[in-house]
Structure formats: structure tokens, C-alpha cells
A and B are shown apart, each in its own frame.
Chain A
Amino acid sequence: MNRPARLSLMLLLALAWLPAMAKTPIFELDIRDHLFHPEEIRIPANTKVKLVVYNRDPTPEEFESYELNREKVIMGGRKANIFIGPLAPGVYPFFGEFNPRTAQGRVVVE
């Protein structure tokens, strides 16, 4: 790796220290009886948001969405933070991989 490439890499990595300059909006989602509550979450376009998912069931569930590029197991009785966006306006479905027939929802970006 030559010197300019290393300097570019170091600069790129240094940027990773920077926290989000604006406060990240927080949205909450519950998993109860293998269902997402609410089923639909509306978030602003082009903004990173933090989704706090509480699993109220005693069994694990997995929040999964190819469209959101996220996959996260949440153990029973626990919560997880899932960061999504910034996203273009549109509808982004998600589902629970442990109960894909019932646990379904969508993020509406507007």
C-alpha cells in the first residue's frame, strides 16, 4: 500500500470517530405475540433513525429486511437498537424470521 493510499485510509478511518452531528431520531417498536406493534412506522426521508425494538415475548425473534439491509436477533424479554437510513422515500418491508407468517411490518419513508 503506497503512502497516499495509506493517508487516505487513515483519513477515512478517522472519520469513523465522528459521532452523528445531529441527534438521531428514535422510534420504538414492540414484538408481542409474534407480531410487530405498530406494523407501520413512518420516518423522515434522508435521515438516519434509531429503531428501538422491544421483544415482549419470551422467545427470540429476528428483525430482518433485505430492503433495509438489516438482520438482528432480539432475545426474549430484551431490546435491540437498529440504525436505519438515511433512506429515499418509499416503503421498506421487514419481518420476523422466527415467525415470518405473522410478524410482518413496514417502514414508510416520507
Chain B
Amino acid sequence: MKQLPRLAQGVALCCVLLPLQGLADGSVIDKIYHPYVNQLEWELEWRAVQQRDDPVTGEARYQTHKLGLGRAVAEYVFAEIYLIGEASADRSLQVRAWEAEVLWQMSEQGEYLLDYGLLFELEKARDDDIWEYATTLLLERELGRFSATANLGLVYEWGDDIADELETTAALQARYRHSPLLEPALELYLGEDTRALGPVLLGMTRIGERQSLRWEAGVIWGLDHSTADYSFRALLEYEF
């Protein structure tokens, strides 16, 4: 793909804005995105993060859940929609927001020193006038059996029920491709209220022709007082 100028635009945007803005508030522990799209693929996905407690509200076992359905809509473009729910020790699971996202693969895997893509996300709270839009630069580099991935995000929040704010996020993953079933990884998350690091196990198994099940599970430890002491994160993804 002869699209280096697009990388130039994305990098320039991030380099200009990263030093100027604060980091994103709330927990930014989530999944790490890779800058690849597999044509013709559909995805049904559930992912969840449970914090020991929410450091802001003090709620014990605060959880967020995402249920998503996505498909590759073009050779290099994947689109997905989500319902987002939250729960805690004192509250049952309720839908809090919806989200739409588009992932754009911008280089062929292995063509350049870094593989790169962009992720665009739009989220709207169900009961409040709170909107959130994020653009995230996705970078990946293969080093033998290791893969290093970076997600560098710019987030804008606005609405009558939230102070307008531009923030940044960063998530890094180092993964060892041991086998399809088991890939150990280390993840680091940085945001305004998040400094967290922890081990994650990833894996994939085929369950039929053009059907596979991917899973991720990990424990992410908070590195400062504004981050939960520990968070569990899990993902289950059916690809077909």
C-alpha cells in the first residue's frame, strides 16, 4: 500500500497534540487493538473489565461490559457497534451507552518498519448528554516471535452533562507468539486516572471452517493511587 502520507498525517497529529493535552480520565484499561483487518470477517465480541473498586466513586467490584457485533466492510476497513453496560457489587448490570467504531488498516503487515492503522470511536451515554469521540493510532512491530503493539489515542468528550475536554491515552502490549492457543503478553495502560501494568494471556482456537474463538484474560495492577489496585480484564470473540 502506497499510503505513507497517511501515516505522516496520523503521526504528526499525535506528536503535535500529545504534549498539549491531559490524559484521559476514568479507567482506560480495555483491549489492545491491532492494525489489521481480515476481509469478509464477522465478529461477535464480549469483553469486560472488573476493578477491585472504582477509586473515584468507591464502588466495589465496578464492572464494564461491552457486547459488540462487527464485520469487515472493505478490504482494509472493519466496523463494529457495541452496547456498553456497567455494574458493581451494589448495582446490577445496566446498559449505560452505545458505541460505534471503525478500524482502518493503512499498511500491509510487514511492509514497513511499523504496521499502522487508525481507530475511530464514537460513544454516547444512554441517559445523559455525554458524547465521546476518539481517534487512536495503532502501531505494531513484529520481532521474531514477539510482537509489540501501541495504541495512542486522542479523546474528546462533550455534552451538557460533562465538561468539554480533550485527553490522551496510551496502551502498550508486548506479546510472545508461543502457540495459537497460548500467547503470554504484558500490557501497560496510561490515562489521566490510570497507570496500570499487568500480564495477560491470549489465545485462539478453530472451531470450524472459517470459524474461530479468541480469548484474552489478564490482571492489570494499578501503579498509583488514582488507579484501582487491580483490574481483571477478559474478552471472548467469535469470528466467522
Contacts and interface: CB of A to CB of B under 8 A. Distances in A.
Interface of A: 1, 3, 6, 9-10, 12-19, 48, 60, 62, 66, 69-73, 75, 81-85, 88, 97-98, 100
Interface stretch (B49-57, B59-67, B109-117, B156-164): B109-117
Secondary structure dominating the interface of B: loop
A13 B139 contact: yes
Interface stretch (B7-15, B82-90, B96-104, B228-236): B7-15
A83 B108 contact: yes
A13 B4 CA distance: 11
A1 B168 CA distance: 9
B210 A98 contact: yes
Contacts of A82: 108-110
B170 interface: yes
Contacts, number: 79
B108 A81 contact: yes
Interface string B184-223: 0000001000000000000000000110000000000000
Interface in B98-149: 108-114, 116, 139, 142, 144, 147
Given A1-B19, A73-B40, 16 more contacts: A9-B152, A13-B11, A13-B14, A13-B139, A17-B7, A17-B8, A19-B112, A48-B110, A69-B147, A71-B38, A72-B39, A72-B109, A82-B108, A82-B110, A97-B209, A97-B210
B147 A1 contact: no
A10 B147 CA distance: 19
Contacts of A72: 38-39, 109
Contact of A6 (B18, B111, B142, B144): B18
Interface in B31-73: 36, 38-41
17 contacts: A1-B18, A1-B19, A6-B15, A6-B19, A10-B15, A13-B11, A48-B110, A60-B39, A62-B38, A69-B109, A71-B36, A72-B38, A72-B109, A73-B39, A81-B108, A82-B109, A83-B110
Contacts of B170: 1
